[in-house]
Structure 1
């Protein structure tokens, strides 16, 4: 019953924000983020702890708290944009989009090996389907289902697929990934969430080891498909910038175990570089690193 009520609440929220003019709805989302920073003490605590781990020696406490506040505002706007995806047209979306590194995208698309897209919870990652559709490519993304709420899971999947993505549950992904790559398609994998210790590798991230999925490294080494980092930045209200980095040059020495770790660290390094440039656009509210309890005030 509670799960269904949650679903109805989200449906109602989505209906409401679609009644509003876009700029007004985004202002509402920003305000929600400001309020959320003060009311959602648990995620605020996680964000501040993460930021201290990443930037504790580089930024003041005031700077860290400022980044955390802007992160919440970005997430508030993103939640509004997510529920407006079905109203967005891919061609119209391109008029709001500045692209950096388009040649990298075209080169990979023309190599006939498919591509592995390095995706992360950065900027507004949920709009990735619209922009790749606008570039003439359909992308398959691997997503963890919302196991505790089948109605919300179905709703989220429907919205994502309305943007042009093919969404595949992570537990059913292996065969479909290989099939998609053999058809010269692009497969997006989110790499920035803490992996289970039994499934991840300990790879450096902001100078500290973090359990990271080795999926991109393993698939890239196994198939020869290039790993292409994509980052969608917020570039003002209702405007965006897509940054497409050069494909990651994988290390292959023949020592598979060590190569997987080394290549996973290359993946993390790409993301870390973008976060350092735009720290308020990453998903700091996820507990990325394992750590001991701290008595520090938040």
Structure 2
């Protein structure tokens, strides 16, 4: 019951955002992210701990606290904008997007090879499933993702991501199907290289810690 109520809540938020300008959604998200930073001590302490691991030797505590606040505001904006994108047309979103370095991908596409994009969970990465026309060059788009535990939201999210022809591969199923997709030639696939890959990935040093990353890009 709780999972279905969460699904209804998300659909309700999408309905409200559908009538609001994108810029307003971003500003509202920043405000809500700031509130989350102020009132949710656990996530705030986790963010500060991670910033200490990454920058503790070169940045002081005041800088790390300011970075954490900015991070929460950015997360809030990205989250609401990601929901807003789902109720916008691709043409509307494309008007807001500028892509640099496309000549490299175009050269690969022109050679007949498949396109493989190494993507990080930075910024509003959910945007990519809504603008395949800008970087797939007629190729069949796909991505590897982590399924949600809520079955209602998982089904809803899949429908949203597949609306423009995306093929979705669960990371829980391994790399066999994504590799087959790549070998078809006329394909493009995004790999979230900073997504924890567990025992199926390669353990690499990252900010003085070991992190398991996908080997598919390599």
1:193 corresponds to: 195
User: What SS does the corresponding residue of 1:180 show, helix, strand or coil?
Assistant: helix
Provide the C-alpha distance between the structure 2 equivalents of 1:195 and 1:170, rounded to a whole number of angstroms: 8
Maintained 8 Å contact 2:48/2:65: yes
User: What SS does the corresponding residue of 2:121 show, helix, strand or coil?
Assistant: coil
Question: Larger relative CO (CA 8 A, sep 6+): 1 or 2?
Answer: 1
Tell me, which stretches of 5 or more residues in structure 2 are unaligned? none
2:163 corresponds to: 162
Shift of 1:201: 2.8
Provide the C-alpha distance between the structure 2 equivalents of 1:106 and 1:144, rounded to a whole number of angstroms: 28
Maintained 8 Å contact 2:143/2:166: yes
Tell me, which stretches of 5 or more residues in structure 1 are unaligned? 221-298
Shift of 1:164: 4.7
2:180 corresponds to: 179
Provide the C-alpha distance between the structure 2 equivalents of 1:164 and 1:86, rounded to a whole number of angstroms: 14
Shift of 1:126: 0.1
Q: How does 1:242-253 map to 2 (within 5 A)?
A: none
User: What SS does the corresponding residue of 1:113 show, helix, strand or coil?
Assistant: coil
1:20 aligns with 2:20: yes
Compute the TM-score of the two structures, normalised by the length of structure 1.
Answer: 0.66
Compute the TM-score of the two structures, normalised by the length of structure 2.
Answer: 0.88
Shift of 1:33: 0.6
Maintained 8 Å contact 1:141/1:189: yes
Q: Which one is further off, 187-196 or 161-170?
A: 161-170
User: What SS does the corresponding residue of 1:216 show, helix, strand or coil?
Assistant: coil
Maintained 8 Å contact 2:4/2:152: yes
Provide the C-alpha distance between the structure 2 equivalents of 1:31 and 1:114, rounded to a whole number of angstroms: 41
Q: How does 1:140-289 map to 2 (within 5 A)?
A: 140-147=142-149, 149-162=150-163, 164-172=165-173, 174-184=175-185, 185-196=187-198, 198-206=199-207, 208-217=208-217, 220=218
Provide the C-alpha distance between the structure 1 equivalents of 2:202 and 2:188, rounded to a whole number of angstroms: 24
Maintained 8 Å contact 1:132/1:138: no
2:69 corresponds to: 69
1:115 corresponds to: 115
Q: Relative to 1, partners in 2 of residues 1:216 and 1:72: Cα closer, same or farther, differing over 3 Å?
A: same
Shift of 1:41: 1.8
Shift of 1:183: 2.1
* Residues matched between the structures, number: 215
Provide the C-alpha distance between the structure 2 equivalents of 1:166 and 1:40, rounded to a whole number of angstroms: 36
User: What SS does the corresponding residue of 1:99 show, helix, strand or coil?
Assistant: coil
Provide the C-alpha distance between the structure 2 equivalents of 1:116 and 1:22, rounded to a whole number of angstroms: 29
2:141 to 115, 133, 139: 139
